[in-house]
Amino acid sequence: MIFIDACFKKPTPTAPVWLMRQAGRYLSEYRATRAKANGFIDFCRRSDLAAEATLQPIEILGVDAAIIFSDILVVPLEMGMRVEFAEKVGPVLPDPIKTQDDIDRLANDCADRLEYVYDALKIVRGALAPDKALIGFAGSPWTLATYMIEGGGSKTYATAKKMAYSAPDLLHKLLRKLSDAIGDYLLRQIDAGANAVQIFDSWGGALEKSAFFEFSWHYMKRIAKRVKSERAHIPVILFSKGAGGYLEAIDGDFDVFGVDWNTPIERAKSVLFDRYALQGNMEPARLYSKAAIEAGACDIARVMGKENGYIFNLGHGMQPDFSSENAKFLVDFVHETFAR
């Protein structure tokens, strides 16, 4: 698997490529699969449909890794929180976490309740070609905590930050509980067939440097360390959107640092590449134009084109209004451009 080789900085014939949120609404095939489910949560819980969505980008785009189709919010869902996905509104958690009691009430056995994800992983791993990797994933403790405290998405993260600055001990209790659950969950995903795991810290950049390391990176490292100590052969990828200003202080026991599109790739290379493989970081909006795709991929190739230990990806996720034709164009262009 060239994806796994790149994670471990072994030589590969070209840069492996996959796209964050590659199983998504921009694919008509995905929309057809989703239409078979009774709402988004049912979609996540139907292992057959989740497996179908997971495999589509492999077939349609020719990417080198599949990432299991799911949502980061299945963790709070299976910890017992109400999670609602209304069309075009984003997720809503109507009973947000406010107190110690709310935290105590969260189930400890969430990883046991996520069998449907493990079943989907088994189906996908059975169907995938042997040279294609399968990636498991989870949201970071901080990112999940923002949804659980805010009661959904947020522009300012005011409620979660208020807790960080006014009741840090309470927030730490929640983050510890989430870290344990996420660690269990990732280990179970590996045992079900995941060849690598990624932790998505979508809202790490909502925190200033000191708070980022205290409330987000600390827990990501803790989970990564546990996974690496128990499954050393599995690459661990950490992705924190918005951590570009904090690179000098990044540390921990993991394999691949996911670079977001705000972080110049040459800066990530100079600060982190001696210690970690790098994944990223084309600006997703370049998908709107083939000329912009070519220019963006060539810019990255000038920095990372000859390096082992580099995985091409976007610097954030695919958007619903992107075209699958341009996504396919990107994957082919990268395979050609980065060929050794």
Q: Which of 28, 99, 108, 210 binds a second copy (CB under 8 A)?
A: 210
Q: Is 43 in the site for a second copy (CB under 8 A)?
A: no
Q: Which of 288, 294, 305, 308 binds a second copy (CB under 8 A)?
A: 288
Q: Which of 165, 169, 229, 233 binds a second copy (CB under 8 A)?
A: 165
Q: Is 264 in the site for a second copy (CB under 8 A)?
A: yes
Name beta bridge partners: 167. none
* ω into 281 cis (within 30 of 0): yes
Shorter beta-carbon distance to a second copy: residue 245 or 305? 245
Contact (Cβ atoms closer than 8 angstroms) between residue 217 and residue 245: no
Rounded distance between C-alpha atoms, residue 111 and residue 118, angstroms = 10
Shorter beta-carbon distance to a second copy: residue 308 or 326? 326
| Residue 71: active-site member | yes
| Residue 21: active-site member | yes
Shorter beta-carbon distance to a second copy: residue 152 or 235? 152
In the complex, the smallest distance separating the C-beta of residue 15 from a second copy, rounded to whole angstroms, is: 19
305: Cα separation from own chain's centroid: 23
Going through the chain in order, the beta strands assigned E by DSSP cover 65-67, 84-86, 90-92, 133-139, 196-201, 236-240, 256-258, 277-282, 310-314
Q: Which residue has the tokens 């803790």?
A: 222
Q: Which of 10, 36, 105, 209 binds a second copy (CB under 8 A)?
A: 209
Helix, strand, coil shares, percent, the chain, to 5: 55, 15, 35
Residue 86 token pair: 């209304």
In the complex, the smallest distance separating the C-beta of residue 209 from a second copy, rounded to whole angstroms, is: 5
**What number of residues does the chain have?**
340
Q: DSSP states of 250-316 as a string?
A: ---S-SEEEPPTTS-HHHHHHHHTTTSEEEEEE-GGGGG-HHHHHHHHHHHHHHHTT-SSEEEEESS
Does the CA dihedral 162-163-168-171 come out positive or negative? negative
Q: Which residues 217-246 are close enough to bind a second copy by CB under 8 A?
A: 242, 244-246
| Residue 165: active-site member | no
| Residue 147: active-site member | yes
Q: Which residues of 210-224 are buried (b: 16+ CB within 10 A; e: fewer)?
A: ebbbbbbbbbbbbbb
Please give the backbone phi and psi of residue 146, each rounded to the nearest 5 degrees, phi first: -60, -45
Q: Is 162 in the site for a second copy (CB under 8 A)?
A: yes
**Of 107-115, 192-200, 222-230, 256-264: span binding a second copy (CB under 8 A):** 256-264
| Residue 5: active-site member | no
Q: How many binding residues for a second copy (CB under 8 A)?
A: 33
- At residue 331's C-alpha, the angle toward residues 328 and 335, to 5°, is 140
Tell me which of 5, 26, 30, 34 is the catalytic residue: 34
In the complex, the smallest distance separating the C-beta of residue 130 from a second copy, rounded to whole angstroms, is: 36
Q: Is 208 in the site for a second copy (CB under 8 A)?
A: yes
In the complex, the smallest distance separating the C-beta of residue 165 from a second copy, rounded to whole angstroms, is: 4
Shorter beta-carbon distance to a second copy: residue 37 or 247? 247
Q: Is 132 in the site for a second copy (CB under 8 A)?
A: no
DSSP secondary structure code for residue 93 in this structure:
-
Query: Between the CA of residue 104 and those of 109, 110, 145, 268, what are the distances in Å?
Result: 13, 13, 14, 39
Write the single-letter amino acid at 217: W
Shorter beta-carbon distance to a second copy: residue 108 or 289? 289
Q: Is 166 in the site for a second copy (CB under 8 A)?
A: yes
Shorter beta-carbon distance to a second copy: residue 231 or 267? 267
Q: Which residues 301-330 are close enough to bind a second copy by CB under 8 A?
A: 315, 319, 321
Q: Is 156 in the site for a second copy (CB under 8 A)?
A: yes
Active site residues: 21, 25, 34, 71, 147
Tell me which residues touch a second copy (CB under 8 A). Answer: 155-158, 161-162, 164-166, 205, 208-211, 242, 244-246, 261-264, 267, 283, 285-286, 288-289, 292, 299, 315, 319, 321
